[in-house]
Amino acid sequence: MKALKKSYVSGISSKPLIGETIGNYFDATVRKFPDNEALVSWHQDIRWSYRELQDEVTQCARGLMTLGLQQGDRLGIWSPNYAEWVVAQIATAKAGIILVNINPSYRVHELEYALNHSGCKALITAEKSKYVSYVGMLQTLAPELETCEPGRLVSDKLPALKAVIHLGRENIPGMYTWGDLMTLGHMMAPEALTIIQSTLQFDDPINIQYTSGTTGFPKGATLSHHNILNNAFWAGEFMNLTERDRLIIPVPMYHCFGMVLGVLACITKGATMLFPADAFDAGLVLQMAEKEKATALHGVPTMFIAELDHPEFTKYDLSSLRTGIMAGAPCPIEVMNEVIEKMHMKEIEIAYGMTETSPVSFQTRADTPLEKRVSTVGKVYPHTEVKIVDGDGKVVPIGETGELCTRGYCVMLGYWNDEARTHEAIDDSHWMHSGDLATMDEEGYVNIVGRVKDMVIRGGENIYPREIEEFLYTHPKVADAQVIGVPDQKYGEELMAWVKPKKGMEITAAEMTTFCKQRIAYFKVPRYWKFVEEFPMTVTGKIRKVEMREISIAELDLENEAAIETA
């Protein structure tokens, strides 16, 4: 009897991994392309060459050292997308300071946890955004700022925090301005930074990213130079990025998508980073693509949907676009086809991974057959292993569904100050368990079919929401759709679909039910329908299905069903 081929792949390449720190690699890029445009921030009216960016980075790093930050200390950054974010990212890497990414949507309780859990000694913060005052929340948490000297904070609630730098220009009690920080850089001897940079190792931790876990407090995924620099390099390789490319980065910097697949990918190739706004704005993305002759664009599927759906979409010339990455959530096949055809992004690629894997482990390539490019997340990254396992941890045969696990240079160092949860995620053989359900075909292409916890079990039938979402996109009036499970006394769970109609179109539950009954198995037809203009989302554009379920249970009056205990 012939043995079934197992769902395991190992990425190979003739190119070795980069054994360098981010700071050293950045300096090498500057030497190659000193006058190339490095960063354009429209909302700040900033244009820097690579040499000018290096000057900003050096001054910032020296300023941080003057504040007393040493190798291994943690510096938080709590801000939407600004040029200073990029400067701080590279400056901390040069000085060996661990950058702690704090979600811009965090409020007081979450901020307090992140700062204390990571032990941040200093914090760079935006002054405010369209919706919130960052400075106001910080003053609520640390009222001692009102009376302390900048850099001398002694706070009851934030015992580790000593210095706060805000990105505004006005003086705020107890805080430095960004200009103050840069001025402090003159007080540090140039050779001091050079010496520190020369002693750093590429396996040193350099970044902590707080994941948005659905239960309990967020976990701080701790990443090294080696993790994220190599991951960024391969992202750029597969997009065929060069120093002539110009990449729009509308995704948040605090997330791996922005800072690794965006900023670091550009730095590894000498390409230009383009920031249209401090937060995502579909109109400004389209405008920037035309005016700056962008060749590449990143985004999560909801961003691309918003761009395609923009009322003035057809007026923009997007012919300069060539490539980019769509990631962060499963991509509807219909949306992928529209991006390729209507946005001229013939080489757009799908990437898949997680913060804990720096983040990418799979990506399509520019020459991937269209059918595979729109229906899979591509093939494994070089120097990375992936397997798909069943509930007992055994590798499943090709074509069968199981949990995707990753091993290699990209796997995080661990969760900061959390050995127990690190061991839950990374097993004794160093496999990172993703929690994602996937299948693999004979050629090694992988398809993500859902989350282990998202799977809906209706009357004994295992149902994967992704499959039904893909089907719902084929309805001519549907712009977007998300499927969840809600509690049911008879079947345990029932399906509910949240549907976003295309602009100017109306859909009824009866219409959708009829559409489904004619085309898919009866048990896959959603029992409940909700029509919305938007979905609850994280700042990175990921759909918050947990929140959707809570809202649905309340609106459908299913609290009693939700309280039923199961074995």
Can you give the three-state secondary structure of 61-106, one letter per residue? Answer: HHHHHHCCCCCCCEEEEECCCCHHHHHHHHHHHHHCCEEEEECCCC
More confident position, 200 or 487 = 200
Return the minimum-mean-pLDDT range out of 138-152, 253-267, 346-360, 519-533: 519-533
What CATH number has the domain bearing residue 553? 3.30.300.30
Domain count across the chain: 2
pLDDT interval class at 302 (50, 70, 90): confident
What DSSP designation does 43 have?
G
Instruction: Determine the Cα–Cα distance for residues 23 and 225; give it in Å rounded to an integer.
Output: 9
pLDDT interval class at 216 (50, 70, 90): low
pLDDT value for 246: 98
**549 in a domain, yes or no?**
yes
Rounded to an integer, the average pLDDT of 487-504 is 89
Other C-beta atoms closer than 10 Å to the C-beta of 476 total 8
Instruction: Check residue 84 and give left, alpha or beta (phi > 0: left; psi -120 to 50: alpha).
Output: alpha
**187 in a domain, yes or no?**
yes
**198 in a domain, yes or no?**
yes
pLDDT interval class at 350 (50, 70, 90): very high
Instruction: Determine the Cα–Cα distance for residues 161 and 121; give it in Å rounded to an integer.
Output: 4
Question: Closest by alpha carbon to 326, among 340, 315, 313?
Answer: 340
Rg (CA), the chain: 24
Rounded to an integer, the average pLDDT of 534-554 is 87
Beta bridge partners of 557: none
**Interval 234-256: pLDDT, tens:** 999 999 999 999 999 999 999 99
**69 in a domain, yes or no?**
yes
The secondary structure element, H or E, covering residue 220 is strand 220-224
Q: What is the mean pLDDT of the chain?
A: 93
Name the token pair of 207. 């970044």
Instruction: Determine the Cα–Cα distance for residues 165 and 138; give it in Å rounded to an integer.
Output: 11
**462 in a domain, yes or no?**
yes
> Residues near 565 by Cβ (< 8 Å), separated by ≥ 6?
none
Rounded to an integer, the average pLDDT of 114-133 is 93
pLDDT value for 2: 57
Return the minimum-mean-pLDDT range out of 62-71, 121-130, 541-550: 541-550
pLDDT value for 565: 44
285 phi and psi angles, rounded to 5 deg: -60, -45
**290 in a domain, yes or no?**
no
Chain mean position to CA 256: 4
Can you tell me whether residue 186 is helix, strand or coil? helix
What CATH number has the domain bearing residue 123? 3.40.50.12780
pLDDT value for 101: 97
Beta bridge partners of 48: 39
pLDDT value for 566: 36
Q: Which of 210, 244, 275 is the last residue of a domain?
A: 210
pLDDT value for 490: 75
Name the token pair of 206. 């350099």
pLDDT value for 214: 42
Return the minimum-mean-pLDDT range out of 85-89, 212-216, 435-439: 212-216
Q: Which of 175, 210, 245 is the last residue of a domain?
A: 210
Instruction: Determine the Cα–Cα distance for residues 362 and 521; give it in Å rounded to an integer.
Output: 31
| Cα–Cα distance list, 273 to 24, 53, 180, 296 (Å) | 19, 11, 26, 10
pLDDT interval class at 215 (50, 70, 90): very low
- Residues above pLDDT 70, as percent of the chain: 97
**Interval 158-184: pLDDT, tens:** 999 999 999 999 999 999 999 999 999
**229 in a domain, yes or no?**
no
Instruction: Determine the Cα–Cα distance for residues 175 and 302; give it in Å rounded to an integer.
Output: 37
Q: Does the structure show a pLDDT above 70 at 430? A: yes
**417 in a domain, yes or no?**
no
Return the minimum-mean-pLDDT range out of 230-234, 418-422, 460-464, 493-497: 460-464
Name the token pair of 459. 């009357």
| pTM summary value | 0.85
pLDDT value for 564: 61
Q: Which of 210, 234, 268 is the last residue of a domain?
A: 210
- Domain assignment of residue 523, given as a range: 456-562
Q: Does the structure show a pLDDT above 70 at 281? A: yes
Give strand ranges (E) for 288-431: 296-297, 325-326, 349-353, 360-363, 379-380, 384-389, 402-408, 414-415
